[in-house]
Every structure is written in C-alpha cells, then in structure tokens.
C-alpha cells in the first residue's frame, strides 16, 4: 500500500518543475509506458527502495487572483486530509508572502510531517536569504533548486524516513472492484442498487482503508470486494466541482483495486475529470469498465448508443479496448450486466497464456508484418513470453530492441488483444535483447 505525499504552495514557486524532476527519477528505473499521460499531477516516486505516490496540487488552480487564494486553501486542506506527508514549497526570490503565511497557518495545526522546502536556491547568497523562512514557524527548512535538482537528495532522505510503514493488508485475497468517477455521477446509487434489498451481502467492513467502504459481495457464484469511494466526502470542506478533489480521492482506491468501475453521468459525458480518472487507472495498469449512468434520462434514437460509444472511444485513444455498459442505477437497468463485465475484465487481467501458444500464434504474424528496417538494419523477433506479473506484460526477444518504435509495439498489442482477448485491461509490451 503506497504512501501519498502532496506538494502544496502558492502558484509559481516551482512545484511542477520539482514534481517532474522527482517523477523522472522513477521513470529512469521503470520502463516507460506507451500511451499518453494526459494528467500531469500524479506520479509514483521511488527513493532508496521506498515507493510513494506524489501529488502536485499546483496544476489544479484556475481563475483569477481572488479565486486563487480560496482554491489553494481548499487544496491544502484536502492534501492535509489525504496525504501521509506534505512538502510545502516557497520561493526564495519572492521571500515570505501573505499567501505563504496562510498556508503555513493551516500546516502548523496538523500532526503530520511537513517539509518546508525553499526553492530556487542555486547560490550562496540565496542560501543566506532563505533564513527568513524560519518566520513561518515550521522549524527547519530544506533548500533546493528544482531546475537542476540540487538539494533534492537530502530532502528525499528525510522524507522516506518519516513515511509510515504501510503493512500490506492481507485480510482476504478477494478481488477488489473500485467504483470511481466524479462527484454526482451516481456511484453510490449504483452500489445501493446492487446491494439494496440484496441478500447476497456477506459482511460490511467500514473504514478498512480509512477512506473507502468495502462491501463483500457475491454474485454469479463469484465473490469480491466492492470499494465505494463515493460516500466519504466531508461536504463542509470540499466544493463539489473541485477537480483535484475527485482525483485525489480516487488515487488510493485505484491503487488498491484490481478493476476500476468508472461511472460517468450520461448527460455530462466523458469530460476532463472523468478522463483524468480513466488515465490514472490505465497508468496503474488496472482493469477498467466504463459505466454510462442515467441512460434512462437521455433522449435517444436507434443510433444513440453507437454514437455515444464512438465519441467515448475517441477520447480514450490509444487504449480503446474497454467495455462500455449503458446503465441506470435508478431503474436498475443492466446493473448486473455491469458487474458481470467487471468479473470478465478481472479474469482477463489475471489471464496467463502459454509460451508455446504465444509463439505459435504471433511469430507467423510477425514474419508477415516484420518491424520496419531501421538505418538499413533488419529487426528480427525470435521469441515471446508473458512475464509473471499480476497484470499482462509481454516480453518480445529480438536482436535490436532499441529500433522498435511505439507504432509497432501498438501493432503487437492489438494482435495480442485480437487473438487472446484482453478486453478492459492495459497490456505492457517490452522489447528485450535476445
């Protein structure tokens, strides 16, 4: 279970530069994942073997200066609620500003580790100037220069020391289905419709993950945990429309799920906020089912479903192999179909394909459509195997892996989907030296 670290602070102090620097360090270790990352504010970081999720609150602030302050307060409060540790960033060039003091006031009240980080300190003169930040009353500070990374090592050393050891909760090995989506899309109604007067419930466990409610559920002879991220907001604190909020809440639920059931409101469509949650699930390599809820309220003709579905798939590119189910939580239309689909996706995600079968099916296809030659050199793929990971990952062994580009990897991925059926599951394709 990974820890969450939030970077807070007023605009333009360099939060995003710092965030990108930390995330890239992770990407140097792990294979880069093909496909686009549409949402720039969430990533995983690894330091000295300790992994944590990093959230940059900066990119979510919209609007003019007077709205700024209010939004920043909301974000800081939310970050304080959700994160295990907080990096509070200030800018040595600007000195202590009123907005910094407001944020510090919020942070002084909490009993979570807060790291005061003074950015843009790239010479001795600025290191002296940083002393004035003692005035914020947060004790010691760390000086860094996000632009070239100096000082980040000491900060990260200190940070991973205070992150709580997360014990992996192994209460049961049941598959976990997380119901995610923006506020008011009908997540709770969907879960209530499933559970409502149902006699399949085994137990209700509240607060197992501190921020979502798990329900054991049994249907079609298949038992799983249903994780509701909906019923957990403190209305007094959070404005419904805050995009940051729904992403932040979804992070934990998505990280610990096997399949994400993404509920969207048919009248609002696959908008930016829903896309953020979709890409978050895709980047965490989770199974995904999209439920278009409130379909009973939409004016439709015989073409509606096809056109609506086409529009959503366009937004999902390049990962379009995702089941989309049109439901109404109110009238219970197709809600069991939705769960049945989620079970299928779960089975697809844990599917293991024999090496002999992979080679038998794919090598002839590769022979007919080999990778394009690069600088006069021919790339030959000799052998394919599935890696022993929780989600589908495939290694293609070849003589010149560095010459195989993304379009060809996507071609291989599509062939895997076509022949072995990985509907709803992100696939990773790696090229390895034979």
Residue 231 is labelled as binding a ligand:
yes
Is residue 294 annotated as involved in ligand binding? yes
Please check if 148 is assigned to a binding site. no
Residue 15 among known ligand-binding residues: yes
d(CA 258, CA 256): 7
Does 10 show up as a binding residue in the annotation? yes
Angle between helices 335-349 and 187-195 (to 10 degrees): 100
* Residue 183 marked ligand-binding: yes
Handedness of CA 212, 213, 217, 223 (dihedral sign): positive
HSE of 67 in the Cβ direction (CA atoms, 13 Å)?
Answer: 7
Q: Where are the beta strands (DSSP E) in 155-196?
A: 176-180
Cα 266–Cα 268–Cα 274 angle in degrees, nearest 5: 95
3 is in an annotated binding site: no
For residue 9, say whether it is annotated as part of any ligand binding site: yes
Is 60 known as a binding-site position? yes
CA–CA dist 418, 30 (Å, integer): 27
Does the annotation place 53 within a ligand binding site?
A: no
Question: Is 59 assigned to a binding site?
Answer: yes
Q: Is 409 annotated as a binding residue?
A: no
* 219 annotated among ligand-binding-site residues: no
The verdict on whether residue 348 carries a ligand-binding annotation is no
109 annotated ligand-binding residue = no
User: Is 229 annotated in some ligand binding site?
Assistant: yes
Report the C-alpha gap between 406 and 402 in whole angstroms.
Answer: 11
| Residue 188 assigned as binding residue | yes
Is 351 annotated to bind a ligand? Reply is no
Indicate the SS3 state at residue 335: helix
Question: Would the annotation count 195 as a binding residue?
Answer: no
**40 is known to lie in a ligand binding site:** no
Residue 13 labeled ligand binder: yes
Q: Does 58 show up as a binding residue in the annotation?
A: yes
Check the annotation: does 134 bind a ligand. no
Q: Is 187 labelled as part of a ligand binding site?
A: yes
Pairing of strands 393-398, 428-433: parallel
Residue 230 in marked binding region: yes
| Termini Cα distance of the chain | 35
Q: Is 168 annotated for ligand binding?
A: no
434 annotated as belonging to a binding site for a ligand: no
Cβ-proximal residues to 227 (8 Å cutoff; 6+ apart), any chain: 176, 177, 178, 179, 209, 212, 213, 214, 253, 256, 257
Residue 48 burial (CB < 10 Å; 0-12/13-18/19+)? exposed
Q: Are 87 and 6 in contact (CB under 8 A)?
A: yes
Strand order of the β-sheet with 85-91 is: 42-47, 50-56, 3-8, 85-91, 114-119, 141-143
Find the helix or strand (DSSP H, E) in which 368 lies: helix 355-368
184 is in an annotated binding site: yes
232 labelled ligand-binding:
yes
Residue positions in the annotated binding site? 9-16, 56-60, 119-122, 181-188, 228-232, 293-296
Residue positions in the annotated binding site for GTP? 9-16, 56-60, 119-122, 181-188, 228-232, 293-296
């Amino acid at each position: 279970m990974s820890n969450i670290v939030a970077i807070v602070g007023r605009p333009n102090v360099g939060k995003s530069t710092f965030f990108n620097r930390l995330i890239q360090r992770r990407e140097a270790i792990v294979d880069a994942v093909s496909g686009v990352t549409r949402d720039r504010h969430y990533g995983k970081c690894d330091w000295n073997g300790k992994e944590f999720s990093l959230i940059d609150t900066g990119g979510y602030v919209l609007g003019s200066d007077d709205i700024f302050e209010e939004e920043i307060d909301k974000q800081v409060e939310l970050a304080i609620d959700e994160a295990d540790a907080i990096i509070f960033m200030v800018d040595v060039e600007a000195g202590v500003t009123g907005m910094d003091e407001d944020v510090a006031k919020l942070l002084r009240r909490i009993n979570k580790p807060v790291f005061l980080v003074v950015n843009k300190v790239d010479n001795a003169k600025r290191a002296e100037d940083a002393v004035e930040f003692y005035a914020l009353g947060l004790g010691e500070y760390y000086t860094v220069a996000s632009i070239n990374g100096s000082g980040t090592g000491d900060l990260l050393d200190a940070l991973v020391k205070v992150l709580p050891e997360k014990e992996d909760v192994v209460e049961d090995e049941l598959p976990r289905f997380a119901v995610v989506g923006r506020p008011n899309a009908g997540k709770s109604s969907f879960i209530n419709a499933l559970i409502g007067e149902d006699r399949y419930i085994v137990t209700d466990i509240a607060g197992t993950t501190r921020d979502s409610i798990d329900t054991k559920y049994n249907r079609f002879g298949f038992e799983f945990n249903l994780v509701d991220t909906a019923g957990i907001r403190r209305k007094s604190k959070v404005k419904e429309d805050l995009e940051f909020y729904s992403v932040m809440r979804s992070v934990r639920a998505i990280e610990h799920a096997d399949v994400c059931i993404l509920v969207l409101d048919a009248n609002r469509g696959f908008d930016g906020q829903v896309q953020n949650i979709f890409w978050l699930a895709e980047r965490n390599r989770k199974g995904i089912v999209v439920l278009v809820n409130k379909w009973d309220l939409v004016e439709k003709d015989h073409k509606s479903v096809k056109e609506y579905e086409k529009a959503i798939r366009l937004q999902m590119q390049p990962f379009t192999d995702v089941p989309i189910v049109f439901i109404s939580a109110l009238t219970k239309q197709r809600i069991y179909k939705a769960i049945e689909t989620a079970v299928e996706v779960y089975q697809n995600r844990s599917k293991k394909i024999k090496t002999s079968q992979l080679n038998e099916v794919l090598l002839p296809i590769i022979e007919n459509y080999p990778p394009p030659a690069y600088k006069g050199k021919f790339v030959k793929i000799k052998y394919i195997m599935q890696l022993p990971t929780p989600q589908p990952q495939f290694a293609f062994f070849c003589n010149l892996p560095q010459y195989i580009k993304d379009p060809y990897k996507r071609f291989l991925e599509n062939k895997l989907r076509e022949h072995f059926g990985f509907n709803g599951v992100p696939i990773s394709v790696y090229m390895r030296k034979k």
